[in-house]
Amino acid sequence: MSKYSKEVKEKVISLFEKDLSPFRIAKELKIPESTVKNWLYKFTLSHNLTHKIGKQVYTADFKRKVLETRWKDKLSFKETAELFSLDNPSLIAAWQKRYLDEGILGLHPKPKGRAPMKTKKEIKIQVDSSQKTDKERIKELEAENARLKYEISFYDDFMKEMREIAKPNRAVKKKHKQLPSKD
């Protein structure tokens, strides 16, 4: 249940459509201005102020595309959310943190809840599969090695781009540190 009723939110929208500023609306209804701005922002995105029933699940490719666009165009979280019609800019911040911590695998959706119990048949199959031949094990390790090499190269390319972006900022900081002394 939300703190403010649907009628209050609708009144905010109607006042805004009558060309009142968010500041005046907030003052008139005794609501924080940031709350009014958030409602107006959500309304302009979806023309709806109600809570969503289901949770939207995004693919790892979509998340990567959002992050790359943000970094390439040097956009804020809010600007990026508007560009991709996302309700919550902090969602992008969470994706970025997971991407920087875990790499591309951090963007893949994770299963929720407790894993189901295994049947006796599944347990037996698991024991049998642990007795794989050496050739099968080598193939699996080579595939994993190739995947990790690809991920490292992707991460290296990303870090090079980030260093290029950060170079002008470092040069400015060094100039500020080397101020002439007063002797």
What separation, in Å, do the N-terminal and C-terminal C-alpha atoms of the chain show? 66
Give domain status of residue 178, yes or no.
no
d(CA 43, CA 20): 16
The total domain count for the chain is 3
Statement: residue 65 has pLDDT above 90: yes
Give domain status of residue 183, yes or no.
no
Give domain status of residue 180, yes or no.
no
Give residue 28's pLDDT.
Answer: 84
Q: Which residue type does 41 have?
A: Y
Please tell me whether residues 101 and 148 are part of one structural domain.
Answer: no
d(CA 56, CA 42): 16
Please tell me whether residues 41 and 59 are part of one structural domain.
Answer: no
Please tell me whether residues 42 and 59 are part of one structural domain.
Answer: no
Statement: residue 127 has pLDDT above 80: no
pLDDT grade for 148, boundaries at 50, 70 and 90: very high
pLDDT grade for 143, boundaries at 50, 70 and 90: very high
Give residue 174's pLDDT.
Answer: 63
Please tell me whether residues 129 and 156 are part of one structural domain.
Answer: yes
Taking CA atoms, 83 is separated from 21, 50, 52, 89, in Å, by 24, 21, 20, 11
Range of the domain at 131: 120-172
Greater pLDDT, 131 or 8: 8
Mean pLDDT along residues 100-106: 88
Please tell me whether residues 59 and 83 are part of one structural domain.
Answer: yes
Give domain status of residue 37, yes or no.
yes
Give domain status of residue 182, yes or no.
no
Statement: residue 66 has pLDDT above 60: yes
Greater pLDDT, 1 or 7: 7
Tens of pLDDT, residues 43-61: 776 565 555 545 788 899 9
Q: What percent of the chain has pLDDT over 90?
A: 17
